[in-house]
A and B are shown apart, each in its own frame.
Chain A
Amino acid sequence: MFNPTAKRIALIKSVLFIAALLPFARLVLFAFTDRLGANPIEFITRNTGDWTLYFLCFTLAVTPLRRLLGWNWLIKLRRMLGLFAFFYASLHFTTFLWFDHFFDLDEMIKDVIKRPFITVGFIAFLLLIPLAATSTNGMVRRLGGKRWQWLHRTIYLIAPLGILHFWWMKAGKHDFAQPILFGTIVALLLLLRVYWRFAQKRTVSPTPP
């Protein structure tokens, strides 16, 4: 079994940190070399949205992978993956607010209320904020492990909301290939947890015949 030393883990973390920044670096590079295509703002919005979903999936994959592979050390990467989901979600939201609405808060609020796909995406983003804010060790201590864990289970709601946001965005264009792919992955990752919980309960207290 692959079980890296603390030093190795630190190295893995640095590599992951740089890798996770590459999509952002690519956007910056493209912006300065005029390679964002005919509609740069659309490109940035979609790209940062995609990467938010990727990182949500990576974050949710940590626990199942730990169990399936026995790689317990993966837990040490989870915070960073979650924070990168928040990072790309923030870029995504900023693009919407800045480029699409030009900081016109009135217009933005109208959009958020009027359009379910934006409402859902906005709620998902709001729910991410407390998770990002309580991601430090200090906050875990202050909240207490149990309460912290409860709070962070919000991710089980955030990820499906993100998928719904994406689904509804694509719905009018009948282009479901990608939402189905993301939806399946997230559903699988969540169902595994449900299954394990169920199986665990059964082994702990077997029902009498």
Chain B
Amino acid sequence: MLIKRNPNGIDIPFSSEITPSHVFESRRIFIKQLAIGSIAGGALAEMLAREAFAQSNGAKKLAAKSNPSYVVMDKQTAYKDATTYNNFYEFGTDKSDPAQYAGSLKSTPWTIAIEGEVKKPLTLDLDALMKLAPLEERIYRLRCVEGWSMVIPWIGYSLSNLIRKAEPTGNAKYIEFISLADEKQMHGVRSPVLDWPYTEGLRLDEANHPLTLLTMGMYGEVLPNQNGAPVRIVVPWKYGFKSAKSIVRIRFTKDQPATAWNKAAPQEYGFYSNVNPGVDHPRWSQASERRIGEDSFFTKKRKTLMFNGYSEVAPLYAGMDLKKFY
């Protein structure tokens, strides 16, 4: 298939080109019938059954309207992969730990405090947060600093909606996200791998960019604990660790906030951490990536795109040396 690109670099198909859901649903049924009927189909049928299972884990559904301006055409990562292969050090350093241990996180009730350089400091509960703006589904690429990537349908709305509501003062230049660090719920916090709580930050103009998504769900459901329930940030043009999970406080600041990974290893993880194939991590190249669940043993890794393909953010960094501000 030829994928068209508009000058902004977003893949927006004409609505006439999008396969209507009833058509592909019926194709799936056809494939299933075919699979069940054939000898070699046993494996295929099993695969489909597994997919069906993976898509419904019994989590609460979250209704959202797809926003076609933010839909990449890449194949979506399987729900199972996206929810069992996570970096969430509050639940352990192994990527299988979060799925195994995040059950102890109590994601309701939850409040999120908006404070610092704002005219209207406020504390919102989940219900208020969900109603602040219409929920949208957006399919974003996610590129981890470790060299792998996924494609995930998130549910949320642009963070700018919340920022507008809080009314930042003229002093506000940055925004800091502070994650929960409760050792009763998160056993990983007892280990000193990072300076808890996990903090992340953005420049205010980055935070206000429409791509920056305040996220409450994925795959049509509320966020699973291991993916940062109940509320996280998703900044698709930056390495995954910039997208803080399980956020309890958002602070507006005058100065650049200290961020968890930057404090831990400043030479490896910069404040900006934009996806950039031209700037290597000291221990590996960032020029290519492995797409989880798709690139098999026998495929070469795919090229990593500048800003993870979201070239519309480039003006935010006009005149900046991104090798220096990595």
B297 touches A41 (CB 8 A): yes
CB contacts (< 8 Å) of A146 on chain B: these are none
A71: Cβ under 8 A from any B Cβ: no
User: Which of A50-58, A77-85, A169-177 is the interface stretch?
Assistant: A169-177
User: Which of A32-40, A59-67, A130-138 is the interface stretch?
Assistant: A32-40
B96 touches A37 (CB 8 A): yes
B84 touches A115 (CB 8 A): no
- Closest A-chain residue to B297, C-beta based? A99
A111 touches B285 (CB 8 A): yes
A117: Cβ under 8 A from any B Cβ: yes
A172 touches B292 (CB 8 A): no
Interface residues contributed by chain A, number (CB under 8 Å): 23
B264: Cβ under 8 A from any A Cβ: yes
Q: A interface, by DSSP: helix, strand, loop or mixed?
A: helix
Contact A41:B290 (CB < 8 A) given known A168-B283, A174-B264: yes
CB contacts (< 8 Å) of A107 on chain B: these are 285
A17: Cβ under 8 A from any B Cβ: no
Complex: A173 Cα to B193 Cα, angstroms: 8
B282 touches A172 (CB 8 A): yes
For B85, give its contact among A38, A100, A102, A168 (CB under 8 Å). A38
Contact A117:B283 (CB < 8 A) given known A40-B297, A175-B193: yes
CB contacts (< 8 Å) of A42 on chain B: these are 148
Interface residues contributed by chain B, number (CB under 8 Å): 27
A169 touches B293 (CB 8 A): no
CB contacts (< 8 Å) of B292 on chain A: these are 38-39
For A38, give its contact among B84, B93, B283 (CB under 8 Å). B84
B24: Cβ under 8 A from any A Cβ: no
Q: How near does chain B come to A85, taking the closest CB pair, in angstroms?
A: 24
B51: Cβ under 8 A from any A Cβ: no
B300: Cβ under 8 A from any A Cβ: yes
Complex: A171 Cα to B84 Cα, angstroms: 24
Q: How near does chain B come to A116, taking the closest CB pair, in angstroms?
A: 8
Q: How near does chain B come to A103, taking the closest CB pair, in angstroms?
A: 10
CB contacts (< 8 Å) of A172 on chain B: these are 265, 268-269, 281-283
Contact A175:B93 (CB < 8 A) given known A38-B292, A38-B293, A99-B297: yes
Contact A174:B193 (CB < 8 A) given known A37-B84, A39-B148, A41-B290: yes
For B283, give its contact among A41, A102, A169, A175 (CB under 8 Å). A169
Contact with B along A151-193 (1 / 0, CB 8 A): 0000000000000000011011111010000000000000000
Q: B interface, by DSSP: helix, strand, loop or mixed?
A: loop
CB contacts (< 8 Å) of B85 on chain A: these are 37-39
Q: How near does chain A come to B256, taking the closest CB pair, in angstroms?
A: 22
Within 8 A of A (CB), among B74-92: 80-81, 84-85
Complex: A41 Cα to B292 Cα, angstroms: 10
The interface centre, meaning the residue of A37, A39, A41 with most chain B CB atoms within 10 A of its CB, is A39
B166: Cβ under 8 A from any A Cβ: no
Complex: A83 Cα to B209 Cα, angstroms: 56
CB contacts (< 8 Å) of A100 on chain B: these are 301
- Closest B-chain residue to A117, C-beta based? B283
CB contacts (< 8 Å) of B81 on chain A: these are 38
B194: Cβ under 8 A from any A Cβ: yes
Contact with A along B264-293 (1 / 0, CB 8 A): 110011000000000011111100001011
- Closest A-chain residue to B295, C-beta based? A41
CB contacts (< 8 Å) of B264 on chain A: these are 174
Complex: A114 Cα to B300 Cα, angstroms: 21
Complex: A174 Cα to B293 Cα, angstroms: 27
Complex: A133 Cα to B135 Cα, angstroms: 64
The interface centre, meaning the residue of A114, A115, A168, A173 with most chain B CB atoms within 10 A of its CB, is A173
A173 touches B93 (CB 8 A): yes
CB contacts (< 8 Å) of A175 on chain B: these are 93, 193
CB contacts (< 8 Å) of B84 on chain A: these are 37-38
Complex: A100 Cα to B283 Cα, angstroms: 14
15 A-B pairs besides A42-B148, A115-B284, A172-B265 with CB distance below 8 A are A37-B85, A38-B81, A38-B84, A39-B95, A39-B290, A100-B301, A102-B301, A107-B285, A114-B280, A172-B268, A172-B269, A172-B281, A172-B283, A174-B265, A175-B93
Interface CB pairs A-B, < 8 A, 18: A38-B85, A38-B95, A38-B292, A40-B297, A41-B297, A99-B297, A102-B301, A107-B285, A111-B284, A111-B285, A114-B280, A115-B282, A115-B283, A118-B283, A168-B283, A172-B265, A172-B269, A173-B193
